[in-house]
Amino acid sequence: MTSQRGYQIHEINITPLTDIFLVLLVIMMVVTPMIDFAGLNMAVMSVGETSNAETTPKTLRLSVDASGAYTVDGRVVPLPNLGDVLREKAPENPDGLLIETDPEAPHEAMARAMAAATSAGIRKLAVAAKEPLAGNKVDKSKGKAKK
pLDDT digit string, tens, across residues 90-134: 888 877 888 888 888 888 988 898 899 888 888 888 888 877 655
Does residue 37 form part of some domain? no
Domain count, the chain: 1
Does residue 32 form part of some domain? no
pLDDT of 29 over the 80 cut: yes
Neighbours of 7 (CB within 10 A): 8
Does residue 130 form part of some domain? yes
pLDDT digit string (tens) for 60-83? 888 898 888 999 988 899 988 888
Q: What is the CATH number of the domain that holds 104?
A: 3.30.420
Does residue 14 form part of some domain? no
Domain that includes residue 133, residue range: 42-146
Q: Is 65 exposed, middle or buried (0-12, 13-18, 19+ CB in 10 A)?
A: middle
Q: Got the DSSP string for 7-56?
A: -B------HHHHHHHHHHHHHHHHHGGGS------EEE--HHHHS-TTT-
More confident residue, 121 or 144: 121
Does residue 54 form part of some domain? yes
pTM, 2 dp? 0.51
Does residue 128 form part of some domain? yes
